[in-house]
Structure 1
Amino acid sequence: MKKLRIIVSGYIGLFPSGGVTWDYIQYPLGLHLLGHDVYYIEDTMQYSRFQSEGKSWDDSSDSIQYLKETMEKFGLGDRWAYKDVASGKWFGIADARRNDIFKTADVFLNISESIWMRDEYLDIPVRILLDSDPMFTQVQYWNDYEPEKSREIINKRFSNYSHLFSFGENINAGDCSIPTYGLKWQVTRQPVCLDYWQQTTGSPDICKLSSVMNWSTREKMIYQGEEWGQKDVEFEKFIDLPAKFHGVLFELLVTDSSKKLERQRLTEAGWVIRDPLQLVRNTDEYQAYIESSCAEFSVAKETYVKSNSGWFSCRSACYLAMGRPVITQDTKWSRYLPSGNGLFAFNDTAGALQALQEITADYKKHALAARKIAEDYFDSYTVLNEMISCL
């Protein structure tokens, strides 16, 4: 295998939290473990979202420090750079070395369109857009009233890349609503660095089903005269699940940036609602929280479900890697991943209840199967090698 110089982008500094960090760190970490010369560059052109008490809104020092500590923890302490939009300064890799990396890089991997496409990135021979948010990525700039102008804007965005990859594994199927604009979309899935996710034996004392989620991160999109929404829309269908299955604890760590969460209503329905910003602030806390759970129960964004995207969660892949069974709403991912042993797809309450019954009846069996699915389908060595081989 040829050793490549690869630049990876992400949101580790912008959103300093355990789950987001694992979403992005497993790319530079996984590619580094494969022997490639990898650098993480965060150049989002966005102001930091989190400041500790007493710091001003344009102070990025907390984000920079979090990113520095994270990269050092994973042995990448000399392989990161952060562009602070407020001051215009770079942090991390020194200027001369960073500029040399830009000039000599073989591959540029823009995850979630997180990086600002400057000329130095456009000059890199292989430029990959990794669509982690299928359907949103393709239509977020669409305007039903100006279709021709919308196509022009969207095609210009995608023309910045030599390769397009998507977490929407069903994107090329006839029943998928995601517009491809006649472009070649290759499918991929989340890499998990399995050596960092050791399966724990046994089950927690309390049978807790959990998940970590955003309630709603944006207003509904409009595409082709239809609304395309977030998780809050799908969750309504399953809000009464705790009342129908006793003997387990249903807990959610919910970020509510939209301020639309009706906390009391969910609590009265039997859900325990907690704050992820207090419980999963870093990678260790995130892993500890998953380990404290028996399994995951989660819904998907309405847009993923309605479009038949085939999307599967990075978070769910981490539950599987920890040997925690997963019950998650089907987006047509069950066409590409096994369902029924350790991992369960559901479309309605009856399907969710059936999965709960099977997991609680033979927990050890499903815990072992969960880890096996992670090894077979999400191992970073396999996932990232397959991506590189497509370039």
Structure 2
Amino acid sequence: MTKYKGTVIIGGFIGLLPAGGVVWDYIQYVLGFQSMGYNVFYIEDTKVYPVFGDTWDDSSTTIQRLHEIMKSFGLENRYIYLDELTQQIFGKSRKEYLEICKSADIFINISCANVMREEYLRIPIRILLDTDPMFTQIQINSDQTFSPEEGKLAELAKWHTHHFTFGENIFHDDCLIPKGDYSWKITRQPICLDYWNNKKAPAPKLVFTTLMNWKAGKKFQYGNQSWGQKDLTFPIIQNLPELESGISFKIAIGQTINDENEDSFEKLLKYGWEIVSTLEASGDHKKYQNFIYSSSAEISVAKETYVKAKTGWFSCRSACYLAAGRPVVAQDTGWSKNYPTGLGLFSFSDKNEALEAIRKISGDWDNHSKNAREIASSYFDHKKVLGNLIDSL
């Protein structure tokens, strides 16, 4: 039972980064709060301009894309887009925008996506929600950013009244996330289970899949260590197809930074991975969902930084696999301390543990599928996740 009902504003970048997984990451906050009786609006106000399909002085493609996505969920009257160059507002009139901000009780800035304007600073509860633990805290505690265009997170963070993180082990002695000046609270990805009522059975031959960014950002240097991405962890499982020939392995890879990784991708093909385009697998939220539905289970690594720092981070994508009744085999970031493993969900630290989990799922897929959905219901149901978030304010 939540303590509070009122107007909630969700900040994100659905229009800016329209990959299917990104859409689901943010839209489930909007859908979740709406289903719980909140008056909820989505605001995209990033000052990043633009990314896909637009020229530097024309964001019309981004705006149209955002409108179509919101409309597909019945939320076409629940979004606002602020164009940084023209200062125009789309989705609502300027008067409506100001009234929404004035009446809002809570502003949730997911992934540090939105800037903080005067209108938002008047909202009494302003939540910075860190979905990229360790990377976020490094940026807050140093001058490093992923790109020169990004503002300093230290400046952004101080304008929020509450700070939440997906780094669920932040208070554990072995976790290396620097807390800094903030009292971080723990949260996780909410899943709207009604949107993941999968009726499709997997193909007779099991297919283990994942979607991932190979190297979504540069390495950071912090605490006399380097902090990297998935290109450094994927070699742990790269030859699994050679070891389990009765199973198909499929991967969609995005954000490779440059062409220096072509040799790595050639190796994956030689090992037996099927590489599909990210456009095919996650060009929009429907393709993303269908890619998961067409899978038997997920096999995935985590960013090197999540693993080294023992953050306890758990993938939003893996939570969707579980909700779809697809078992998950995921590299351990310390998350195994917080979730049940061994039936429907498996953690691994090396290739042999991953292989053992794959064979267990192959031997009893139906049982593991059923338990995967039960884990999603127990740990990621939006009513529990968002209710806990509100209750902890």
Length-normalised TM-score, structure 1: 0.94
Change (3 A) 1:143 1:362: same
In the TM superposition, residue 203 of structure 1 has moved relative to its aligned partner by 2.6
* Contact 2:219–2:226 (8 Å) recurs in 1: yes
RMSD: 1.6
Instruction: Choose which of 294, 311, 316 in structure 1 pairs with 2:318.
Output: 316
Q: Which residue of 1 aligns with 2:209?
A: 210
Fraction of identical pairs, as percent: 46
Change (3 A) 1:201 1:46: closer
Q: Which residue of 2 aligns with 1:353?
A: 355
Local SS of the residue matching 1:124: coil
In the TM superposition, residue 389 of structure 1 has moved relative to its aligned partner by 0.9
The 1-side partners of 2:243 and 2:232 are apart by 20
Q: Which residue of 2 aligns with 1:6?
A: 8
Change (3 A) 1:44 1:216: same
* Contact 1:127–1:161 (8 Å) recurs in 2: yes
The 1-side partners of 2:12 and 2:52 are apart by 16
The 1-side partners of 2:36 and 2:160 are apart by 24
Q: Where do residues 361-380 of structure 1 align in structure 2 (5 Å cutoff)? A: 361-380=363-382
Local SS of the residue matching 2:341: coil
Q: List alignment gaps of at least 5 residues for structure 1.
A: 146-152
Q: Which amino acid aligns with 1:228?
A: W
Q: Which residue of 2 aligns with 1:103?
A: 102
Cα deviation, 1:73-122, whole Å, max 9, x if unaligned, reads 21211110111223332111111011011111100000000001112111
Q: Which amino acid aligns with 2:319?
A: A
* Contact 1:295–1:325 (8 Å) recurs in 2: yes
Q: Which residue of 2 aligns with 1:130?
A: 129
In the TM superposition, residue 299 of structure 1 has moved relative to its aligned partner by 0.2
Change (3 A) 1:13 1:154: closer
Q: Which residue of 2 aligns with 1:383?
A: 385
Change (3 A) 1:158 1:56: closer
* Contact 2:212–2:252 (8 Å) recurs in 1: yes
Change (3 A) 1:144 1:97: closer
The 2-side partners of 1:115 and 1:154 are apart by 11
The 2-side partners of 1:252 and 1:57 are apart by 32
Q: Which amino acid aligns with 1:138?
A: Q
Q: Which amino acid aligns with 1:188?
A: T
* Contact 2:175–2:309 (8 Å) recurs in 1: yes
* Contact 1:144–1:222 (8 Å) recurs in 2: no
In the TM superposition, residue 242 of structure 1 has moved relative to its aligned partner by 1.3
Q: Which residue of 2 aligns with 1:148?
A: none
Q: List alignment gaps of at least 5 residues for structure 2.
A: 145-151
In the TM superposition, residue 60 of structure 1 has moved relative to its aligned partner by 1.8
The 10-residue stretch of structure 1 (96-105 or 233-242) with the greater mean CA deviation from structure 2 = 233-242
Instruction: Choose which of 280, 289, 292 in structure 1 pairs with 2:291.
Output: 289
The 2-side partners of 1:254 and 1:202 are apart by 24
Q: Where do residues 87-236 of structure 1 align in structure 2 (5 Å cutoff)? A: 87-143=86-142, 156-200=155-199, 202-236=201-235
* Contact 2:139–2:153 (8 Å) recurs in 1: no
The 1-side partners of 2:24 and 2:269 are apart by 29
Local SS of the residue matching 2:261: coil
* Contact 2:200–2:294 (8 Å) recurs in 1: no
In the TM superposition, residue 267 of structure 1 has moved relative to its aligned partner by 0.8
Q: Which residue of 2 aligns with 1:335?
A: 337
Change (3 A) 1:144 1:111: closer
Change (3 A) 1:164 1:144: closer
Cα deviation, 1:55-81, whole Å, max 9, x if unaligned, reads 635432222112111112212111101
The 2-side partners of 1:315 and 1:154 are apart by 25
The 10-residue stretch of structure 1 (182-191 or 363-372) with the greater mean CA deviation from structure 2 = 182-191
The runs of 4+ residues in structure 1 deviating greater than 6 Å are none
Q: Which residue of 1 aligns with 2:147?
A: none
Q: Which residue of 2 aligns with 1:19?
A: 21
In the TM superposition, residue 283 of structure 1 has moved relative to its aligned partner by 1.6
Q: Which amino acid aligns with 2:292?
A: I
* Contact 2:137–2:179 (8 Å) recurs in 1: yes
In the TM superposition, residue 171 of structure 1 has moved relative to its aligned partner by 0.7
* Contact 1:200–1:323 (8 Å) recurs in 2: no
Q: Which amino acid aligns with 1:221?
A: F
The 2-side partners of 1:135 and 1:327 are apart by 23
* Contact 2:10–2:29 (8 Å) recurs in 1: yes
Q: Which amino acid aligns with 2:126?
A: R
Local SS of the residue matching 1:261: helix
Q: Which amino acid aligns with 1:248?
A: I
Instruction: Choose which of 280, 283, 288 in structure 1 pairs with 2:282.
Output: 280
The 10-residue stretch of structure 1 (121-130 or 251-260) with the greater mean CA deviation from structure 2 = 251-260
Q: Which residue of 1 aligns with 2:63?
A: 64
Local SS of the residue matching 1:205: coil
Local SS of the residue matching 2:77: coil
Change (3 A) 1:98 1:143: closer
| 2:303 equivalent to 1:270 | no
In the TM superposition, residue 266 of structure 1 has moved relative to its aligned partner by 1.5
The 2-side partners of 1:270 and 1:347 are apart by 22
* Contact 1:330–1:346 (8 Å) recurs in 2: yes
Local SS of the residue matching 1:206: coil
The 2-side partners of 1:246 and 1:363 are apart by 17
In the TM superposition, residue 199 of structure 1 has moved relative to its aligned partner by 3.1
Q: Where do residues 47-86 of structure 1 align in structure 2 (5 Å cutoff)? A: 47-51=49-53, 56-86=55-85
